[in-house]
Chains A and B, each alone.
Chain A
Amino acid sequence: MPRLALNWADLGREMVAWERSLARGLAALRDNPPPNPLPGGSARTLLRQCGKARLFRYTPLQQDVQRVPTLIVYGLVNRPSMADLQPDRSLVRALLALGVDVHLIEWEDPTALDRQRGLNEYINHDLAACVDWLAAAGPINMMGICQGGTFGLCYAALNPARVRNLVLTVTPVDFHTPEDLLSHLLRAVDIERLGEQNLRGDALNSLFLALKPYRLLHQKYVGLVEQMTDPAALALFLRMEKWIFDSPDLAGLALQEFARDFYRDNALWRGRLRLGGQRVALARLTMPVLNVYARADHLVPPASSRGLAAKIGSTDYQEVEVPGGHIGIYVGSARSVVARSIGQWLAQRSAL
């Protein structure tokens, strides 16, 4: 069978159908524009402000809530709304439904005053202050997302008595795996210059787009045309689009330190990372650890996350490989697998 099983007539018909689909989609957008802003997100309450960290508690959905609170730690890149995009695409909501007592740290955007704000301030001051408050009655569960997982690793390694169980999702640990294109592209970047000023969020977006330019700048939008007349699909697309491009700026020093210590020097992996004068040793992670990674993750390759297994001191370590990409595991079809895996794992270790 020839590779191209297509004739001119079929091609012409499909082309006309696509043009009509585009016209219908644009008309639908004109006549029924999606609400702005798009509603969504689970109910939550702001508990504390700790420096640049805002600590939220999500309203439980179950009568029986796990005794040990679970704190989701998000990174400085993008915003945590991705974990609670809309009711039917929400990792937070799924965890609440499983009885997890979900808390979240959301970082305030840095201003020009924060250019000298480093990882020590974010992790050892703000994150630590939130945990201190939350852990008044005992150690907590910590769940890190992407860079937030790396922050969680650092915090837990420095404060193992504070963290009862550690969950990591798509978390980079070894930053020098061969598949890591982002790490490769950053090799020639002048690290010292990165810290001269805050990095704009759109500059970071351009960096991420450069990892898959044709899929992210062309193909994705061709798929949108096929979804324009479906209000639900369109709303999801717009939410994702807003999340992707609504990146906060990054504090200059924190970015510089992350690029230097993690991406360039791979210091966490090599056991040479120091935060606030203290060495961050992964071997001090003796608490149970669940490591969730995405099979097709182009930002954090599976090998980068899985490298953790050989470095920690815990005897209760479990990995979950989930089909999908870096974001897909939170909003795609695999999200239920992720939530169930985390919820059950926590339930088994949060009883009493």
Chain B
Amino acid sequence: MEHPAHWQRLQAEFLDSWLQWVGPWRELPDAASWESWEKLFNELTGAAPWASFGRFAQLLAACGAASARGRRSGSITPALQSLLADFIHGIDLALLAGRAAAPLPAGTQWPAFGPSREWQNGYAALAAAQRVEREAALALQLAQWEALRVGAAAFSASLERDDDGPPIASLRGLYDAFIDHLETAYLAQARRPDYAQAFGHYLNASLGLRAAVRAWAQRTVPLLDVPTLDEFVALGRRVAALEAAAAGPSEPRPANVTPLQPTRQPAGRPVSKAARQPAGKAARQPAGAAPSEPAAAGAPGSLTSPRRQGP
């Protein structure tokens, strides 16, 4: 097929938008913040999640333009299958490159020497955790790309079978059918034991990297006269112990129940007195009707551990 000049760019962007599906949205901002949305729209228009649909449409339109110039027939199916063949070829190249990628450098294997040997060891541990995480991420990504390839191929094949689902009469319907096939292929892949292994290995490696970063930070922050997390935790436990001691022996055990005032007055008729009472009493009264007496701070039967058992 004759392609327009910007075909390769469109094709590359389209491929990239699917290969990187775990990419830009991992750093999703607070969705309820307008500023973050505006920033997102301004900066990531080309990588926004709906861009995959836009690129899908642009590619098809480019196919249509090429067909018109080539005076070919008006059917979209062969053009779309040609597009998908290119797409699958792109995935194959990505898979080849990923599988052929040289292992990441293992870092220093020799023992640390000299007065900075503990730092050398710490850095080596961090670098090793980074390497393990990157390798696990690549292995998982390759498994995901394989599923993407299977899904795209199944979608392409389905276009030739008239009985494979309802007729597709819109661009959006075409896109949705594409998604359906990708999800089906992904689900089949994800249910395989080797995918679970890759997924678990990646999660384990991520946890390992986080622990290594934390250990490195624990080692580093004292140089800046900043307390470490361990010190904060120890301080917090000390404060909790002092609070428990200050509460005195009259405080029931465990001291985990604290009477509080209402945080906000609800709209409509107030129920604050009822709210301070065990709801078993309050519930017998209609909305807004104040019970005759407030509950004591510690209601009967509360605050004991282990819990009393039923029959």
Chain A interface residues (CB < 8 Å from chain B): 1-8, 10-12, 14-15, 18-19, 22, 26, 29-30, 33-34, 36-38, 43-51, 57, 59-69, 101, 103, 111-113, 115, 124-126, 128-129, 132-138, 140, 158-162, 181, 184-190, 193-194, 196-197, 202-203, 206-207, 209-215, 217-222, 224-225, 238-239, 241-242, 244-246, 276-278, 284
B164 and A126 contact, CB distance less than 8 A: no
Instruction: For residue B218, give the distance in angstroms from its CB to the closest CB of chain A.
Output: 12
The interface residues of chain A lying within 8 Å CB-to-CB of B233 are: 112-113, 115
Instruction: For residue A216, give the distance in angstroms from its CB to the closest CB of chain B.
Output: 9
B286 and A65 contact, CB distance less than 8 A: yes
The size of the chain B interface, using a CB distance under 8 A, is 120
Query: Which residue on chain B has the smallest CB distance to residue A43?
Result: B266
A137 and B278 contact, CB distance less than 8 A: yes
A206 and B77 contact, CB distance less than 8 A: no
The interface residues of chain B lying within 8 Å CB-to-CB of A239 are: 32
Interface string of B35-66 (1 = CB under 8 A from A): 00110010000001110111001101100100
B200 and A187 contact, CB distance less than 8 A: yes
Of B190, B211, B272, B284, the contact of A197 (CB 8 Å cutoff): B211
The 6 closest A-B pairs by CB, nearest first: A188-B200, A137-B280, A43-B266, A161-B310, A241-B31, A51-B256
- Which residues of B in the span 246-279 have a Cβ within 8 Å of any Cβ on A? 254, 256-264, 266-269, 271-272, 274-276, 278-279
The interface residues of chain B lying within 8 Å CB-to-CB of A45 are: 262-264, 266, 271-272, 275
- Does B22 make an interface contact (CB < 8 A)? yes
Of A64, A126, A246, the contact of B286 (CB 8 Å cutoff): A64
The interface residues of chain A lying within 8 Å CB-to-CB of B254 are: 51, 125
Of A59, A128, A186, A214, the contact of B267 (CB 8 Å cutoff): A59
Of B80, B179, B259, the contact of A214 (CB 8 Å cutoff): B179
B175 and A125 contact, CB distance less than 8 A: no
Instruction: For residue A68, give the distance in angstroms from its CB to the closest CB of chain B.
Output: 7
A129 and B179 contact, CB distance less than 8 A: no
- Does B34 make an interface contact (CB < 8 A)? yes
Of A36, A50, A61, A206, the contact of B257 (CB 8 Å cutoff): A50
The interface residues of chain B lying within 8 Å CB-to-CB of A10 are: 170-171
Interface string of B188-231 (1 = CB under 8 A from A): 00110100110111011011101100100000000000000100
With the chains together, A14 CA to B57 CA distance in Å?
Answer: 9
B179 and A6 contact, CB distance less than 8 A: no
Given A1-B167, A3-B168: A184 touches B280 (CB 8 Å cut-off): no
B41 and A101 contact, CB distance less than 8 A: no
Given A136-B301, A160-B310, A181-B191: A214 touches B183 (CB 8 Å cut-off): yes
- Which residues of B in the span 169-188 have a Cβ within 8 Å of any Cβ on A? 169-176, 179, 182-183, 186-187
The interface residues of chain B lying within 8 Å CB-to-CB of A60 are: 271, 286-288
The interface residues of chain B lying within 8 Å CB-to-CB of A29 are: 34, 37-38, 41
What would be 27 A-B contacts, judged by CB atoms less than 8 Å apart?
A2-B162, A4-B75, A8-B67, A11-B76, A33-B34, A47-B279, A49-B258, A51-B256, A57-B275, A57-B282, A64-B286, A69-B279, A111-B236, A112-B233, A113-B240, A128-B305, A132-B307, A133-B302, A136-B301, A137-B281, A181-B190, A190-B204, A193-B207, A193-B208, A213-B183, A242-B31, A276-B306
- Does B9 make an interface contact (CB < 8 A)? no
Known: A22-B54, A137-B281, A241-B32. 17 other contacts (CB 8 A): A1-B162, A3-B164, A6-B170, A15-B61, A48-B260, A51-B257, A57-B271, A67-B284, A112-B232, A133-B257, A135-B278, A181-B191, A187-B196, A202-B26, A213-B186, A219-B176, A220-B49
A125 and B286 contact, CB distance less than 8 A: no
Query: Which residue on chain B has the smallest CB distance to residue A196?
Result: B211
Given A62-B287, A112-B233: A46 touches B260 (CB 8 Å cut-off): yes
- Does B103 make an interface contact (CB < 8 A)? no
- Does B89 make an interface contact (CB < 8 A)? no
B26 and A194 contact, CB distance less than 8 A: no
With the chains together, A5 CA to B174 CA distance in Å?
Answer: 10
A222 and B74 contact, CB distance less than 8 A: no
With the chains together, A33 CA to B36 CA distance in Å?
Answer: 12
The interface residues of chain B lying within 8 Å CB-to-CB of A8 are: 64, 67-68, 74, 76
B200 and A214 contact, CB distance less than 8 A: no
With the chains together, A225 CA to B190 CA distance in Å?
Answer: 29
